Amino acid sequence: MAEVKLGGQAAAELSEAAQGELMEQCEEQFAQLEKLQNEMILCEPECCENPQEQAVNRLMATEAELKQWLTVEPELLISNSEVLLQAGKEEMLKLCSELEMVVSCHEAKRDKLRETKELEQKWLEEKKQALIAANDHVERLQTEKGKLSEQSILQDTKAKIQKMKVYHERLMEALGDVLEKHVPPPQNESAANRKKKNITQELHKDLISLNEILELLMNKVLNTPHDPYVTVDDTFWPPYTEMLLRYGIAVRHQGNNFKIRLETFC
């Protein structure tokens, strides 16, 4: 069948002699086909429903086919060179187009792999850098560990604590200076304001300074972080309380107006 088909296609562009020769061969092949067909129809195979028998059938058929392939000898399609040239050309063209498809497919695949490779390399580079950094860190830590003794760590920590203490001292002093300069204790204020003396006299008796208010607030925050509120009583001069609240240094309790706490500065 394949030969007949091939011949029929090629005949379109062939000379008459070649075409005639081809046709003749086609006829011959077809006649042989018909003969075989008739033979096949004549020898009716016995029907078999049994799968076992079918397997045997199959084995026999496969063996027969194998034998045929083993004995078959390659033979020339046709001796006419013109036909052979034509057929060869067609096969070549077909093969070429198929190979082109393979090439484009592989190129696409290659490009994709290349992309993947670049990505992977980038990733590898990043990982390498991370490794180098980690190694550096380890090395540094080890050299430090070698250098450091218990004594020196203690000294270091002591120096740090000292530094912190000094800094704290300075801050407190600065705060004290500022308060002394700009926010004098309420007694002075009221003393200066003599007109209202008779009205406010009683209240002023045990008023505390702003320093003390702040100290109270700070201590409360540090000592009992879970309950940082301080109750506002008579000793708090109301303008100071008002100032602390207005400038966001202190916050009022949400449920109780008489309680305030230090704003969380962090």
Partner 1 sequence: MSLLKPFSKLPGLNSANILLVESEEQFQQSLADALVEETTFTVNVRLAKSLPLPVENEESRPRIDLVVFIINLTSELSLQSAEASLKCLDPGYFLGKVCFMVTNARSAAAPVERLDVARKLAASLHCPLLFAEDQTPDGVTNATERLLTILKVAAGLVPMATALYLSNLTRSTVPPDIEQPSFN
CB nearer to partner 1: give 5 or 137.
Answer: 5
Closest CA to 12 of 94, 90, 81, 91: 90
Determine the 3-state secondary structure of 258 from DSSP: coil
Q: Does 34 bind partner 1 (CB under 8 A)?
A: yes
Strand order through the sheet with 250-252: 230-231, 259-262, 250-252
Residue burial 195-231, b: 16+ Cβ < 10 Å; e: rest? eeeeeeeeeeeebbbbeebbeebeebbeeeeeebbbe
Q: How far is Cα 40 from Cα 236, in angstroms, rounded to an integer?
A: 123
Query: Could you tell me the smallest distance in angstroms from the CB atom of residue 98 to partner 1?
Result: 12
Q: Does 105 bind partner 1 (CB under 8 A)?
A: no
Query: Could you tell me the smallest distance in angstroms from the CB atom of residue 102 to partner 1?
Result: 17
The amino acid that residue 259 corresponds to is K
- C-alpha distances (whole Å) from 173 to each of 112, 165, 244 are 70, 12, 20
Please pick, from the candidates 17, 23, 31, 61, the single residue that binds partner 1 as defined by CB under 8 A.
Answer: 61
Q: Does 40 bind partner 1 (CB under 8 A)?
A: yes
Q: Which stretch binds partner 1 (CB under 8 A): 34-42, 98-106, 201-209, 220-228?
A: 34-42
Q: Does 266 bind partner 1 (CB under 8 A)?
A: no
Residue 21's contacts (CB-CB under 8 Å, 6 or more residues apart) are 78, 80, 83
Q: Does 67 bind partner 1 (CB under 8 A)?
A: no
Q: Which stretch binds partner 1 (CB under 8 A): 37-45, 130-138, 147-155, 171-179?
A: 37-45
Please pick, from the candidates 12, 42, 47, 192, the single residue that binds partner 1 as defined by CB under 8 A.
Answer: 47
Query: Rule CB under 8 A: which residues touch partner 1?
Result: 1-2, 4-5, 8, 33-34, 37, 40-41, 45, 47-49, 51, 54-55, 57-58, 61-62, 65
